[in-house]
Amino acid sequence: MHPVPLFIKGRILDNLEAVRGHFLLRLKLPPTFHHPVPGQFVMIRVTESQTPLLARPMSIYAFEKGAGHSVLEIFYRVAGAGTRILSGLKPGDELSLLGPLGNGFSGNQEARRAILIAGGIGISPLTFLAASLSPIREPFPVEMTAYVGAQRKEALAGLDRLSAVCPDIRICTDDGSMGYGGRVTELFERELDAFDPQGCAVYACGPRAMMKRLAELLEKHPLPCQVSVEERMACGLGACLGCAVAVRTPGGDVAFMRACKDGPVFDIRRIDW
């Protein structure tokens, strides 16, 4: 069971544009902030005013706990009014946040190889996961292969951090401007049979269409797979029911679970795509 999430103030250390439209936010937090699990997230309020009204869910990109404080990193894309305001904040500014929230990735202790499949900003929680895998499995660290997709070369972001912990990165761009020319699921499909289901585990995060296609590919393939879903959230605590995800019950019916409280990480085969 995860510790109770905290409402807390964070002070911005850096908020730098890494590539066009993508920013790396580093926050200094009190030491009371609990150590997050890869796949968990925080709700960030970008302003104390009523506009925008709702806090924004942000996947955790990295975390380091020190003696007197902690440093939380968020890698985000400017996609609307809230993230546009966030991108304009400067070192020294304060933010209110709630977290860590949700259920993260659970490690497969039998797996000797992790396959990461990231679409767009989905690279953020998977980078945190990749950084956590090898150290906890020594002297038998997990081998990693990452499939990273974007619409075009200029939209690829976060490769420098991921490559530091995962040397085997297979880049895909829809327009063919870098790496494999096509969707990330197309290249994965071509190479799917090379992975041993007994020794591999798949972890994915990206647009819904990407993960739906991944679910189709794995429908008749026994590779285990966990996905982090990207849903709009209002509270982050499971109270508002605004982030419902349709899942299949053991009896074959469809029920709803909350992405913020029951997820955001689910077994890909449970979701009713």
Stated pTM of the model? 0.92
Q: What is the pLDDT of residue 99?
A: 92
pLDDT band at 240 (very low <50, low <70, confident <90, very high): confident
pLDDT band at 38 (very low <50, low <70, confident <90, very high): very high
94-108, 208-222, 229-243: which has the minimum mean pLDDT?
229-243
pLDDT band at 75 (very low <50, low <70, confident <90, very high): very high
Query: Which residue spans of the chain are classified as CATH 2.40.30.10?
Result: 6-101
Query: Which residue spans of the chain are classified as CATH 3.40.50.80?
Result: 113-230
Q: Are 59 and 115 in contact (CB under 8 A)?
A: no
Q: How far apart are CA 10 and CA 95, in angstroms?
A: 5
241 versus 260: the higher-pLDDT residue is: 260
239 has a pLDDT exceeding 90: no
Mean pLDDT for all residues in the chain: 89
Q: What is the pLDDT of residue 66?
A: 83
Helix or strand or coil: residue 166? coil
Mean pLDDT score, 245-267:
90
pLDDT band at 201 (very low <50, low <70, confident <90, very high): very high
Q: How far apart are CA 169 and CA 146, in angstroms?
A: 5
Residues 81-107 have pLDDT tens digits of 889 999 999 999 999 999 999 999 987
Residues 229, 230, 235, 239, Cα dihedral to 10°: -40
pLDDT band at 35 (very low <50, low <70, confident <90, very high): very high
pLDDT band at 15 (very low <50, low <70, confident <90, very high): very high
Mean pLDDT score, 244-255:
89
Residue that the structure tokens 């510790």 belong to: 3
Mean pLDDT score, 24-30:
96
The domain 6-101 is classified under which CATH number: 2.30.40.10, 2.40.30.10, 3.90.1580.10, 3.40.50.10170? Answer: 2.40.30.10
Phi then psi for 167, rounded to 5 degrees?
Answer: -70, -20
6-20, 50-64, 84-98, 165-179: which has the minimum mean pLDDT?
50-64
Q: How far apart are CA 167 and CA 145, in angstroms?
A: 8
Which CATH code fits 113-230?
Answer: 3.40.50.80
128 versus 139: the higher-pLDDT residue is: 128
Q: What is the pLDDT of residue 50?
A: 46
Cα–Cα–Cα angle for 128, 267, 258, rounded to 5 degrees: 85
134 has a pLDDT exceeding 70: no
Q: How far apart are CA 116 and CA 124, in angstroms?
A: 11
